[in-house]
A and B are shown apart, each in its own frame.
Chain A
Amino acid sequence: MSSVAISEIHGDSPPAHEPVLPGVHSYESISEKICGIVLGARTARWWLIAFAVCSALTVLFFGSIGYLFYRGVGIWGLNVPVVWAFDITNYVWWIAIAMSGTFISAALHLTRQPWGASISRFAEAMTVFALAIAGMFPILHLGRPWFFYWLTPYPNMMSLWPQWRSPLVWDFFAILAYLLLSLMFWYLGLIPDFATLRDRALTRGRQVIYGLLALGWRGEARHWHRRQSAQLLLAGLAVPLVVSVHSVVGLDFATGNTPGWHSTIFPPFFVAGAMFSGFAMAMTIVILLRRAFDLGNFITERHLDNLAKLILAMGLVLAYSYVMEIFMAWYSADRYEIYTALNRMRGPYAPVYWALIFCVVLVPQALWSRRVRRAPWLLFAISIVINIGMWLERFMLIVTSEHRDFLPSAWGMFYPTIWDWAILIGSIGFFGWLLLLFVRFVPVISMSEMRELLAHQGHAHASHTHERGGA
């Protein structure tokens, strides 16, 4: 289909418009550059250091999980009334980060944004990894995790089924569908690049590994054709799915009667929040990669600029929903809702609330400035702040609602323990660990799509001359 796009690219990109791929490129140079990162003989020092750090954190992560399974969720600071805290906060945070990847590449795919090509690949990778981690938390947070499979409907000796009306069951299916779709979407895109790697690999070992991964891809026209229509279909399915997944996450709370949760605004609110933090995380990683492998030619400032605009837009949507939340509380005239709203601003967790307002509402406003949007390191800093802010937002949302609900006699407080932190930090380390492996052994940018882009540019150019010739 992207070939169909040619004319349109030509159409909606006036000559003045800077090209997506500046600098001279040939099909060969693309393969050269990108395969170089993977097949390059020596590993960069920064990579080794980063990998060591992340490995340590990964060990911490799984160590903590081991202890968690051994002792029980009591090692966290949970209690009644606050039965959910870091566990679910991390879950929502990670699944929101997962949002961007599939969504970005799918959306870009559908809207045929040529500039998406260079960022969709690791955006998808990011999704898969974040989702894998997000998917762990619903299991980790269980009192008896070894029975998590009771959420699946299968004929059993108890003749029991899941309780279909529980949002947790919806969650289960949502994550399942989302994870599989992301994986397949990602892998479908990877196959031809694996083939390229297979054919350029110098060592037998790599030939075999990449050969297996490439499934014997040989670039047949019909295969290309099917793959493309498949990608298009998957992209088309991905968008509604992603929206539904985060709506379901929102429903996890909205279906509860806890003041501060029981609100119809939640599903869209969560979708917006997810896009927001997803884009922010994408930004973080884009900038790092760009710097690490100096991909400035593939990931241009225009990419960053567009991404920044998206973040700004989502930030505004989010800010709006915060206002609406408070308005709804007041408008509902519900004693409990109102109290919760006020308690967030003045209660024991007020610092968290104001911190997140700063991170999520105020900071992104800097993106109005074009100069900021073009300054990678500023963007990087902002994206980090946003990520932190979004974590705080989920924490605030969950804990402040729980800790003071209906009966004053049952009010309580939550204080995190060392294990709460260990698992949060560990999960981040594990994410980094996966990403590092990814950038080292998988092409970070889709070579086939790059080639397409190149072809289009060439073609566009050609068509210009042709017209002149005709005149």
Chain B
Amino acid sequence: MAQVFRPHQVFVLKFGAGIVLVLLIAGILIWRTVTADSPPIDAPVAQTPPFSHKHHVSDVGLDCRFCHASVETAAFAGLPPTSTCMTCHSQLFKGQPMLAPVAASFRDDLPLHWIRVHRLPDFVYFHHDIHISKGVGCSTCHGQVDQMPLLWRTQSLEMSWCLGCHRAPEKYLRPKSKVFDMTWKAPPDQLQRGRQLLTEYKIDRHRLTDCSNCHR
């Protein structure tokens, strides 16, 4: 009988199979990147006006709370109303084209539109105030904002990431005085300090990984 498959045909078959496999993997990778949440991590986000945290925090030396006024008192850290911007900018850099949108917003009572950089899904309920009051620093989740001309996201903000801290808070907790300190780095004896803070802040570890902590 004749061979059903000649060697070169066999080769073609194997090769084809290989191609298909490669395409499959490629497809999956593409799909994941396409459906990944935006803006991606570490990608600066352009805003109008091009607000620079770097300038306002490290150059001017504003405190976070000057704009994010309710971060200590409410679930939402809050974004400043245009009027807050105008407290300074009614005087400083008045004519700057860069600031035109702010002036316009104030004049026409039309709110500014900022692009959201840190967003959580609908079903996640995050409270800024409690984190602040229990010694979780801004930079722990938001990164060194004072070094960001344009803001970008430094953390995945995925559940597993949240759990990283909720399972081992002692690795991240800071003394109250350091919460708004952008330059804070964990000291070598952080673990032990952290445990002290845990008791000081009266944090119930059991609760931290309860589903009801974030989901309602």
Contacts and interface: CB of A to CB of B under 8 A. Distances in A.
- In the complex, A touching B (Cβ < 8 A): yes
Interface of A: 156-160, 198-199, 207-208, 211-212, 216
A208 B160 contact: no
A207 B4 contact: yes
A159 B4 contact: no
Interface in B158-206: 158-160, 163
Contacts of A198: 4
Nearest to A156: B160
B1 interface: yes
A159 B159 contact: yes
A159 B1 contact: no
A159 B5 contact: no
B158 A211 contact: no
Interface residues of B, number: 9
Contacts of A160: 159
B5 A158 contact: no
Interface string B79-107: 00000000000000000000000000000
Interface of B: 1, 4-5, 13, 156, 158-160, 163
B163 A208 contact: no
A157 B161 CA distance: 8
Contact of A157 (B1, B5, B159): B159
Contacts of B159: 157-160
Nearest to B157: A157
21 contacts: A156-B160, A157-B156, A157-B158, A157-B159, A157-B160, A158-B158, A158-B159, A158-B160, A159-B159, A159-B160, A159-B163, A160-B159, A198-B4, A199-B1, A207-B4, A208-B4, A208-B5, A211-B4, A211-B5, A212-B13, A216-B5
A6 B5 CA distance: 38
Contacts of A212: 13
Nearest to A157: B158
B134 to A, nearest CB: 21
A199 B160 CA distance: 57
From B4, B13, B159, residue with most partner A Cβ within 10 Å: B4
Contacts of B158: 157-158
Contacts of B163: 159
Contacts of A208: 4-5
Nearest to A216: B5
A158 B1 CA distance: 59
Contacts of B4: 198, 207-208, 211
A198 B1 CA distance: 11
Nearest to B3: A211
A212 B160 CA distance: 45
B126 to A, nearest CB: 16
Nearest to A210: B4
B164 to A, nearest CB: 9
B15 to A, nearest CB: 15
Closest 6 CB pairs of A and B: A211-B4, A157-B158, A159-B160, A158-B159, A207-B4, A157-B160
Contacts of B156: 157
Nearest to A160: B159
A157 to B, nearest CB: 4
Contacts of A157: 156, 158-160
A216 B9 CA distance: 13
A156 B163 CA distance: 12
A31 to B, nearest CB: 14
Contacts of A207: 4
A212 B9 CA distance: 12
A198 B2 CA distance: 11
